[in-house]
Structure 1
Amino acid sequence: MSFRPRMTAFTEGVSLLRPLAWRAFDGMVADFWQAEGKAGGKGYYLSPDPRIVIFLDEINHALDLKSAPAGSRKTHRPMGRAIFVPAGVPIWSRLCADEHFRHVDLHFREESLQARLVARLGAESATAALRAPVILERSPEAEALAGLLAEEISRPRNHDFYAETLIQGIVAAILPLGQSRAPSAAPVGGHGNGPGTAQIRRVLSYIEENLDRRVTISELAGAVGLSESWFAHAFKRETGQTPLQWQMRRRIEWAQEMLGEPANSVADVAAATGFADQAHLTRVFRSLTGSTPAAWRRNGAFS
């Protein structure tokens, strides 16, 4: 029997610009969406199948993606251009401005995807890769492949093998499929002491998943199996910032997004982004933006 996605979805303030285009392959389905939405539009999505979503345009969405008990408080954050959603993990999304957007959705039969990954990575690594959500602010490789896939879905010209190869490349670009996690892993680049691209993506995704709190260097290093000193040095070489500087910048950017909602008080935003109190948020916010949260909101910086 051919695979069909089993998605529960509710949307408000979002409409299609063109009919949905899609193609089915062995154990997976690829959709190409072209839509528009109004500020305040929202959606809820839940599927028992794992999936990847890649936006082809700049977006002004907010996202809450986690496996949460019913009734728990939703904490939205900026949505990345490329995300992986494990099976059974719900998404709440919200549009922060009027916009047109295009995205490619890839739905997988979990057993088929896991079998492919097990064959290349082993059972333990394959299971780990399919368990945790991934939120990437940008993934140039995946976005380029998704653009080619969108064209092929809209105007089929090639054998299914062509589209399936594009999908395989997207999976490899987004899922955390790093090589060795040991500090003695083969060096990347000319310096010989930087983590692999997959390790960096994993750390950045881990930060995105935990913008509601301060994550320690020890915890981040442990996420990729490196010592604290090795990890901190390698991260700065790769990104130009320390892990805590990167994390703090992203938490403040998330606070800015939340301040765009008039219903969110500064104290609420401070609590949701893991600061001790409103004064703590204000000090850090001013140091990074040159403005207090209240003045930033008053001056309409979000619009």
Structure 2
Amino acid sequence: MAGKARLTAERLHTPPGGGRFAISRLALGLFLVDQDRHRIAVGSDKRQHVPLKAGEGWILPAGAAGICEYDEALSFLRLEVPENLLADVGFERHSDFRPVIGTFDPLLAQLAHQTVSIAGHASALYGETMQLALAAHLAQILAPARPKLVGIDDKRLHRALAYIHENLSTNLSLEDMAAEAAMSRFHFARAFTRALGKSPLQYVIRERMELAKLFLKTTRLPVASVAARVGYEDVSRFGQHFRRHTGRTPAAFRAD
């Protein structure tokens, strides 16, 4: 990353108070202590009371400004991600998302902790790998691929797609997906297949494999952990699906 802006990652301790903020780069903060009396306003002066627990926090787009206040001492992780790093992982619309305040994605929290812990201490290669992993997962969270759908069931299918992408690591069922779309299982399966050219099951497998590819290339998670994070309790079944999807085993794909 020579000659490029670098990601900044730090652990901060601040007294009660807070105040106005303005950020120039995509930024995230992860609280390390509970803040029951936390107030925040983004893009205005209208503060909202948003209690945050340790492990929760915020993700704000570049250019965000507002007010953050808290009545107790605060310990938190703060990371700012430069535009060139986001471009490296294909995140082109990194200033075009709604601020995220509250629950933190578990893997993103883990990556944030690791990135802060190695800041200034790890080898250049390992540091860059962690930064890419963090940026890639941010892109996955903030700008997940959504197929363009047309037709009378467009909004209902979009709800189902959002539900699928938010629950790839869980035991997704046709009944749950159909319920999210407010359709019968038969009607949902038929409408989904007609709109996307794949059955719900085929679509879920494909999206899980794409997410697995991201984890394998950008993290050092064991294959069994990757399998679990994309919804597979059976590692051998995950390997079968991955090989069918990519033509390679997970280990071979990671080594390429």
Name the TM-score, length of structure 1 as normaliser: 0.43
The Cα shift of 1:239 comes to 1.1
The aligned runs of 1:59-70 (5 Å cut-off) are 60=89
Separation (CA, whole Å) in 1 of partners of 2:95 and 2:211 = 15
Label 1:139 to 1:217 Cα distance change in 2 as closer, same or farther (>3 A): closer
CA distance in 1, matches of 2:87, 2:176: 31
Question: How far apart are 1:89 and its partner, in Å?
Answer: 2.4
Q: Distance in 2 between matches of 1:98 and 1:263?
A: 12
Task: Name the structure 2 match of 1:12.
Answer: 9
Give the Cα separation in 2 of the matches to 1:205 and 1:82.
Answer: 18
Mapped pair 1:244 → 2:241: no
Cα deviation per residue 1:242-299 (whole Å; 9 max; x = unaligned)?
A: 1111111111111111112453111221222222322111100011111110110111
Match of 1:254 among 192, 206, 211: 211
CA distance in 2, matches of 1:98, 1:215: 26
- The alpha carbon displacement at 1:205 in A equals 1.0
Tell me, yes or no, if structure 1 residue 227 matches structure 2 residue 181: no
- Aligned residue in 1 for 2:158: 201
- Deviations 1:34-64 (Å, cap 9, x if unpaired)? 7xxxxxxx9679xxxxxxxxxxx867389xx
Do the aligned residues in 2 keep the contact of 1:44 with 1:90 (CA within 8 Å)? no
Compared CA separation, residues 236 and 138, structure 1 to 2 (3 A): closer
Structure 2 CA distance, aligned partners of 1:294 and 1:43? 33
Return the alpha-carbon distance in structure 2 between the equivalents of residues 137 and 81 of structure 1.
16
Residues in 1 aligned to 2:79 and 2:134: alpha-carbon distance in whole angstroms: 18
Q: Secondary structure at the match of 1:260?
A: helix
TM-score, scaled to structure 2: 0.50
Return the offset for 1:234: 0.3
Q: Which moved more, 1:242-251 or 1:81-90?
A: 81-90
Alpha-carbon distance in 1 for matches of 2:206, 2:219: 22
Residue 104 of structure 2: aligned partner = 90
> Matches of 1:17 and 1:213 in 2, distance apart?
33
Contact 1:59 1:81 in 2 (8 A): no
Code of the aligned partner of 2:89: N
Q: Separation in 2 of the partners of 1:247 and 1:260?
A: 20
Compute the RMSD of aligned alpha carbons: 4.5
SS in 1 for 2:62: strand
Q: Which amino acid letter does the alignment assign opposite residue 137 of structure 1?
A: A
Partner SS for 1:215 = coil
The alignment of Structure 1 onto Structure 2 pairs a total of residues equal to 166
Distance of aligned partners of 1:208 and 1:135 in 2 relative to their CA distance in 1, 3 Å threshold:
farther
Q: Which runs of 5+ in 2 are unaligned?
A: 1-7, 11-22, 27-41, 49-59, 64-76, 81-85, 112-130
How many Å separate the matches in 2 of 1:258 and 1:80?
20
Could you tell me the percent identity over the aligned residues? 27
